[in-house]
Structure 1
């Protein structure tokens, strides 16, 4: 039987659950069209309105869409992994989009290759490390592909054709019953000078009757992985947040990672609250992200991406001391 801890891409829940959500995040960037678009297939299980959905966010400018489907149109396979909702199909090698609600229509196909998963071990079976073994956490997170090539075409809701030729893709997911009350998240994997992909999140994590500030950050740089996380002894040494800007310094032993991110435009996405997609967050998909990686105070690499996804949710009063 496939290990769900080491393979977070597969469906983690059961359709008989109540107050449960699960969603996958497939991001694609077309440099020729100067556009990024992410499709979020998922399910919302709750007593009032259980359904499957495909959520879409696209930039520039940022637009969002939410399409609902009957729950019986949701199907998954473990080996090989796939998710089917309505006439759309998602996997690690191909995605086929066919969404039509009589108002908006998306149709296209993406082919993926050179999937780059994160490094894993017994103690860190996925991006959450040993926290992934804790049952009934409000929200769990999985990184499926830090980077892969995307080829294909897509006709968007405005009737424009986006072309993807050896462009960049990224896949992650979340599951549980609710997003953290406060968190920041950013991701970028389109950098001009080296093959790099970075994801980072800082959040309030409820645990039993208390909560703590946890962080996850994974940098894939020219075939090497750098992990900064609460569970491996990494520390947040600086964190400054406004509605439009994030500055974060993470340290682990003699390594230091500095991250600057700027949110230029954002629109509302639906988010889970006790399994129901009734909450809202704001995400930008065309922000700017800079990073600098140091070892023993020597700069190893610095880079910048204009295609960053960024979310900042109620973080103004967070205390990381």
Structure 2
């Protein structure tokens, strides 16, 4: 399968600059999720917060009043130990490693022997291990992409359209695949998970920094409708130096792609500081409504800002989502729910919950 546009690394000497990748692995039988967040900031190394990080949001192994899941994260300050392909979805960053091995793709059977702390995504193989205090995560799995972004019968498309190939939007955003299948294993807090045909989602961002405020939701686990996936996001981005409020919704269902947003219809939304996401959209052929809620407090995660990584984002992977999709003046196409939606709000300052 062809990877979509913007799969490769975008840095070409810009400063300040960040690039971030998000990969969510969902185990359908249990509903448990592991969200891997990789980032690199100011790879030229000219600022005090230059470097990279990996964050993993996984199931809580202990009860905490302020989070649904647990976050394990590590900072890798050396930009010289980071590598990424300018053409493919491939990257890696070493923290602790054996010898003086340069940052480069490693054969999968050599990775754990050489890299004691770090990660790599190479040839659809995801590998890594990190430790933070008494918390530990180790993983190895392959991903088979099934649905990227756009009509499955055509070449994958840029999420923000053809204008995204010009330096107009900050930050840039690309769905790498709306659905894939993961095969492998993962060790989380002493628990061993082995899986086959786990659901996988991946996206990326790049630019000067994250928006000043935003919301996001994602789901690809609807037990009554295999293959159905939805991604939606909105917030304030910079277009040619000016702020713009914008939102987008994309739905894949039974081999069809339904897109709503700039150039593809109108969207209205009401998103609370936390707990409620209400979106409605339509174009000349279709309409969609998304109603998402959570009673949990979510988990704080870091995102890149102009001042470096900040704890300014709240996430849950256990959101309740009600989706309705229909044709204008015709019957409902699909109506369904899930309790494994990824829900997020972010910005500075982040409202307390």
Quote the residue 1:50 is aligned against.
Answer: 50
Aligned residues: 308
Of 75, 78, 84, which residue of structure 2 is paired with 1:76? 84
Identify the range of structure 1 (248-257 vs 238-247) with the bigger mean alpha-carbon deviation: 238-247
| Conserved 8 A contact 1:30-1:162 | no
| Conserved 8 A contact 2:168-2:240 | no
| Conserved 8 A contact 1:33-1:163 | no
Q: CA RMSD in A?
A: 2.6
Quote the residue 1:318 is aligned against.
Answer: none
| Conserved 8 A contact 1:23-1:43 | yes
Q: Displacement, 1:33?
A: 4.1
Quote the residue 1:319 is aligned against.
Answer: none
- Once the two structures are superposed, the pairs formed by residues 55-204 of structure 1 within 5 Å of their partners are 55-60=55-60, 61-69=68-76, 70-78=78-86, 81-86=89-94, 87=115, 88-91=119-122, 93-101=124-132, 103-119=134-150, 125-135=157-167, 137-156=169-188, 158-194=189-225, 195-204=227-236
3-state SS in 2 of match to 1:231: coil
Alignment partners' CA distance in 1, 2:315 and 2:121: 22
| Conserved 8 A contact 1:240-1:246 | yes
3-state SS in 1 of match to 2:263: helix
Alignment partners' CA distance in 2, 1:237 and 1:33: 33
Quote the residue 1:305 is aligned against.
Answer: 338
Q: Displacement, 1:80?
A: 5.0
Of 219, 222, 231, which residue of structure 1 is paired with 2:254? 222
Assess, with a 3 A threshold, how the Cα gap between structure 1 residues 314 and 73 changes in structure 2: closer, same or farther: closer
Assess, with a 3 A threshold, how the Cα gap between structure 1 residues 314 and 279 changes in structure 2: closer, same or farther: closer
TM-score (norm. length: structure 2): 0.80
Assess, with a 3 A threshold, how the Cα gap between structure 1 residues 238 and 76 changes in structure 2: closer, same or farther: closer
Q: Deviations over 1:190-232 (max 9, x none)?
A: 1111211110011122334542221111111122111111132
Q: Displacement, 1:85?
A: 1.4
Whether 1:29 aligns to 2:37 is no
Q: Displacement, 1:270?
A: 0.9
More contact order relative to length (CA 8 Å, sep ≥ 6):
1
Identify the range of structure 1 (48-57 vs 74-83) with the bigger mean alpha-carbon deviation: 74-83
| Conserved 8 A contact 1:289-1:308 | yes
Alignment partners' CA distance in 2, 1:240 and 1:274: 25
Unaligned 5+ segments in structure 1 are: 316-321
Alignment partners' CA distance in 1, 2:274 and 2:87: 42
Alignment partners' CA distance in 2, 1:279 and 1:254: 40
